[in-house]
Amino acid sequence: MSIKASGHLEKMCTSLAENGQVDYQLPLDDQRIGLNALIGKVVSIEHLGDIHCIHCGRRSKKSFSQGYCYPCFTKLPQCDTCIMSPEKCHFHHGTCRDPEWGEKFCFTDHFVYLANSSGVKVGITRGTQLPTRWIDQGATQGLPIFRVQTRYQAGLIEDCLRGHVADKTHWQKMLKGNADDIDLAAIRDELMSKSEEGLELLEEEYGLQALQRLYSETITTIDFPVSQWPEKVKSFNLDKQPLVEGVLMGIKGQYLILDTGVINIRKFTAYNIQFSAAA
């Protein structure tokens, strides 16, 4: 049976089965389309021409910060520069765009982690977002190495560690195949040693209870549903090419891998599209 549905894109919903396989669903407004079963099928995504802000619903000619209109982008705390660079948090200066939002989302347990996507990297996320964060990054392995009380503290630790390890994913490399397995626990111990001076200063300032080193966590292994990897990674842009179609070869991170190219679903959050899949 063929599938045809329309609505506004959101980042793909994911769940991790006991065997490590990721299950993907494509949200279109209040609909959820199962994608794993469509691998090997012809699918199409057509941008119908409008974008509506995911916060206020305003029609927008362009999407900012993955789904917001420009006024919301300039005013909302979730669009502030400290979201991408948490070590630049300015809550303590009294200049947070929305202190109530900051208290809810930033003053809560966060993890600093190591992940293996295009290679080993360091990152941070809220305590409720594991393993979702690793899946969204296309990581095949993930390991929490710190648990802290605030996003700001997580950002300070990440800033301390990234002098010795990458903090970005090379998405083209990630989409060409899975990276070789890495002993993340050994890398954790090496990073702790190399960064000991900076870490001790942070622990002295915030206390050992606030910044907890994690040595007993196990590595999470993630298996993405991909039948064939692309030899070359060509990325589609709905702003320039409103119709994208091809055989769905796999899904990794927030990318659909087609035989004609790849598309980052999260990048086009709030775009009104029509999705079709052949029987």
Q: pLDDT tens across 210-220, in order?
A: 999 999 999 99
Can you give the pTM of this predicted structure? 0.95
Residue 217 sits in the same domain as residue 84: yes
Region 52-73: what's the mean pLDDT?
A: 96
**Does one domain contain both 264 and 147?**
no
Q: ω into residue 131 within 30 of 0, thus cis?
A: yes
pLDDT for the residue 278: 85
Q: Are residues 176 and 271 in the same domain?
A: no
| 186 and 117 within one domain | yes
Give the DSSP letter of residue 166.
B
Hey, what are 262's tokens?
Answer: 């790849």
259 and 172, same domain (yes or no): no
Chain position carrying tokens 């917001």: 68
Q: Give the 3-state secondary structure of residue 94.
A: coil
Partners of residue 142 on adjacent β-strands: 115, 220
Q: State which of 193, 221, 249 marks the end of a domain.
A: 221
Do both 212 and 132 map to the same domain? yes
Given pLDDT bands bounded at 50, 70 and 90, which one contains residue 2?
confident
How many whole angstroms separate alpha carbon 28 and alpha carbon 48?
13
If asked whether residues 84 and 201 sit together in one domain, one would say yes
The predicted pLDDT at position 279 comes to: 67
**What pLDDT, in 10s, does the model give residues 234-268?**
999 999 999 999 999 999 999 999 999 999 999 99
Judge if 49 and 90 occupy the same domain.
no
* Shared domain check, 90 and 166: yes
Quick one: 266 and 160 in the same domain? no
Looking at every residue in the chain, the average pLDDT score rounds to: 96
pLDDT digits (tens, 9 = 90+) for 85-137: 999 999 999 999 999 999 999 999 999 999 999 999 999 999 999 999 999 99
3-state helix, strand, coil in the chain (%, to 5): 30, 35, 40
**Domain total in the chain:** 2
- 52 and 92 in a single domain? The answer is no
The whole domain housing 30 covers: 3-72+225-277
Contact yes or no for 140/224 (Cβ under 8 A): yes
* Cβ atoms of residues 227 and 39 within 8 Å: yes
Same domain, 39 and 95: no
